[in-house]
Copies of this chain bind each other. A is one copy, B any other.
Amino acid sequence: MTSFQDIVYSSRKNHENVHETIIDHHKAIESWFRNQWLKYPAPFYSSIDIRNSGFKISPVDTNLFPAGFNNLNKDFESLYITAVKHTLDSLKTKIDKILIIPEDHTRNLHYLESLKYLSSLIQKSGYEVRVSEPGIDKNKFKNTNSLLQYDDFIPDAVLLNNDLSSGIPGFLDDVKQVILPSKNIGWTTRSKSEHFNYYSDVCSNFSKLLQLDPWMIEPEFRNCGEINFKTKQGEDCLVYHAEKLFKIISEKYHAYNIDEKPYIIIKADSGTYGMGVISIDNIDQIKNLNRKQRNKMLSSKGNIIPDRVILQEGVYSFEEIKNSNSVAEPVIYSFSNYLIGGFYRAHGSKANNENLNSPGMIFHPIPLSDVCVSPDMNSPVDSQINRYYVYGVIARLAILAAAKELFNLD
């Protein structure tokens, strides 16, 4: 296992205002979060992809049906179990049996390992767990008087580990058991731009508290509907918004003396799995997308053509694995609002402005001693413990955005 000391923070960028501001205000921040969680309960679980450039740190993806549990550091299992117990206890409902509905893509061994570990965590928390066969076989589900049954198993709660890219299955209609996190927050109904709208709202409140420019914790974004990458329908919209975005980012870089080239990420507005992600650093690249790139944008999961796309400000990652020249980005996991650590996703053949969630990526567990829970005022801003705290704040802002989303949807 790689220890934290193997992850180095590039000192090329020294604009650590945002880290310092967050650490200095940690008491006010914790108090603020506590108040938010009283109003908006966090979704059952999440994993948050974070990019940290030093001068800016923000979530770039908020996954509410997380996989990758197999990459967590197993030495801290008791922490994960406590977080699961807490999350289920908070529902204040008598739950004994839990049915997990997994993703459809059965052949991914990593996913199956993640699923196995997730279900063992819930089992070890003292619940009876059944995992339905991957690939939703509707015949095994019965709904009698609104009581969902799978095979001979009648659960008290249904846990979705399926992002519902292919739609909400009919057997989840009119179910009286609790469905976690919610059937309304799958990719059929949810969009990334909607999530980042909520995130923007959260950041606006949070930034007032800290007197911080919200841009430092928030990626700018725009969205376009009705894009067809094959026929180039909707390309005007992409170009229009990309121009706007480049202008905003350039102005910010200029204002903060950041000597980097702005870039933009274009991806499907609904869906996951690092497919269909393009990184551009000038407008012409949109017009000149080659066939490979255009095909990539058509290959999203669930075989749904990504007719809606989001253009998101690219956030440089200036964290890299020591002696390996691999760019790294933290991924933070939680059950409800309880952070449980995570790992660095690293890639040896990707640049600091590229998507790391792609074949060849490797994982370095974040060794979770005091992870994310509190800063140490006697250590430097850039110390292990303080960096963890900042990751944890950013992750919780994203979770809070999802909580507000859920609060509004359910």
Contact = CB atoms under 8 A, between A and B. Distances in A.
A338 B369 contact: no
B34 A94 contact: yes
Interface of A: 26-27, 29-31, 33-35, 37-38, 75-79, 81-83, 85-86, 89-90, 92, 94-96, 123-128, 338, 340-341, 368-371, 373-374
A125 B374 contact: yes
Contacts of A38: 92, 94
A369 B75 contact: yes
11 contacts: A27-B126, A34-B89, A35-B94, A37-B89, A75-B369, A77-B369, A82-B83, A82-B86, A82-B340, A86-B89, A89-B90
A154 to B, nearest CB: 14
In this complex, the member of A37, A86, A90, A370 whose beta carbon has the largest number of chain B beta carbons within 10 angstroms is A86
A393 to B, nearest CB: 11
Contacts of A123: 374
Given A31-B96, A79-B79, A81-B374, 12 more contacts: A27-B126, A37-B89, A38-B94, A76-B78, A78-B368, A78-B369, A81-B373, A82-B338, A82-B340, A85-B373, A86-B338, A124-B370
Contact of A126 (B34, B85, B90): B34
A125 to B, nearest CB: 7
B82 A124 contact: no
B78 A371 contact: yes
A374 B37 CA distance: 29
Contacts of A79: 76, 78-79, 82
Nearest to A120: B374
B81 A127 contact: no
B370 A77 contact: yes
A19 to B, nearest CB: 18
The 5 closest A-B pairs by CB, nearest first: A30-B126, A124-B374, A86-B86, A79-B79, A31-B96
Contacts of A341: 78
Contacts of A83: 82
A34 B98 CA distance: 14
Nearest to A84: B373
Contacts of A370: 77-78, 81, 124
A340 B76 CA distance: 12
Contacts of A82: 79, 82-83, 86, 338, 340, 373
Given A86-B82, A338-B82, A373 B31 contact: no
A288 to B, nearest CB: 49
Contacts of A75: 369
A34 B124 contact: no
A38 B341 CA distance: 29
Contacts of A29: 126
A122 to B, nearest CB: 10
Given A38-B92, A82-B83, A86-B86, A126 B368 contact: no
B78 A127 contact: no
B374 A126 contact: yes
